[in-house]
């Protein structure tokens, strides 16, 4: 049982790490589109965010997995199951991170932009040297909540028959008629989230440079 749960733990960690790796930068790109001055781009991004936030993640995973076959007749191998999980999670969380980024950027006083213009900064320099660091400071609490939610949402990979830890725990519990594997999985999620919250809290304290 221990070996099986550890294998499931590795699968869960893989989903978690890869989702953050892809969704965090993708969210920044989506946020840029959301605030773009070109109306068609802005509205397309708004529709994407609306669909992602308005439909269940499980449904989105199913669309990513079965969509290529039903829409284009593309035959996909069983290994695509893993890629579909990562794509589905990344696309979903990118939408949420994009709105968090947008709120953080809009929270920066307009005077910061005016000061950068006076100093002769380009738009790129203004964003990455002045706005971005302040945005990160503003959004740490919200990002922490999303990251904690992601830890728990990894269990939804079962929708594509991808065996992460919670799925394996349910299988063991059913085969051995004991609820103990589910409790062990629950303890893992709690410890994992405790570590995530602790790390993010340390980052937040380090960024409170006005105190």
Does residue 76 have a pLDDT over 90? no
More confident: 35 or 172: 35
Take residue 55 and report the two structure tokens written for it.
Answer: 């439909």
pLDDT of 78: 74
More confident: 20 or 192: 20
pLDDT of 2: 66
CA 104 – CA 117 distance, rounded (Å): 20
Q: What percent of the chain has pLDDT over 70?
A: 98
Please check whether residue 48 is in contact with residue 30, taking contact to mean a CB–CB distance below 8 angstroms.
yes
pLDDT of 71: 78
Please check whether residue 130 is in contact with residue 29, taking contact to mean a CB–CB distance below 8 angstroms.
no
pLDDT of 209: 59
Per-residue pLDDT reduced to its tens digit, 112-146: 787 888 878 888 888 888 888 888 888 988 999 99
Q: What count of other Cβ atoms lies within 10 Å of the Cβ of residue 176?
A: 11
pLDDT of 33: 93
Does residue 8 have a pLDDT over 90? no
Q: What is the mean pLDDT of the chain?
A: 87
Average pLDDT of span 12-26: 94
CA 100 – CA 175 distance, rounded (Å): 42
Does residue 7 have a pLDDT over 90? no
Structural domains in the chain plus CATH codes: 2-206 (1.10.3720.10)
Nearest to 153 by CA among 67, 60, 78, 64: 60
What pTM value is reported for the model? 0.89
């Amino acid at each position: 049982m221990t070996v099986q749960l550890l294998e499931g733990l590795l699968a869960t960690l893989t989903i978690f790490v890869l989702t953050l790796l892809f969704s965090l930068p993708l969210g920044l790109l989506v946020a840029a589109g959301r605030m773009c001055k070109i109306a068609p781009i802005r509205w397309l991004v708004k529709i994407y965010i609306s669909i992602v936030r308005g439909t269940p993640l499980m449904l989105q995973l199913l669309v990513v997995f079965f969509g290529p076959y039903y829409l284009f007749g593309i035959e996909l191998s069983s290994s695509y199951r893993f890629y579909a999980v990562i794509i589905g999670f990344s696309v979903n969380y990118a939408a949420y991170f994009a709105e968090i980024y947008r709120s953080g950027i809009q929270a920066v006083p307009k005077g910061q932009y005016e000061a950068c213009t006076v100093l002769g900064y380009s738009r790129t320099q203004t964003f990455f040297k002045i706005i971005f660091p302040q945005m990160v400071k503003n959004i740490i609490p919200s990002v922490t909540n999303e990251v904690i939610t992601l830890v728990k949402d990894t269990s939804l990979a079962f929708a594509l028959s991808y065996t992460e830890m919670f799925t394996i725990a349910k299988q063991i519990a059913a085969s051995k008629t004991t609820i103990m594997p589910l409790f062990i999985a629950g303890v893992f999620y709690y410890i994992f989230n405790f570590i995530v919250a602790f790390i993010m809290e340390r980052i937040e304290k380090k960024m409170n440079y006005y105190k």
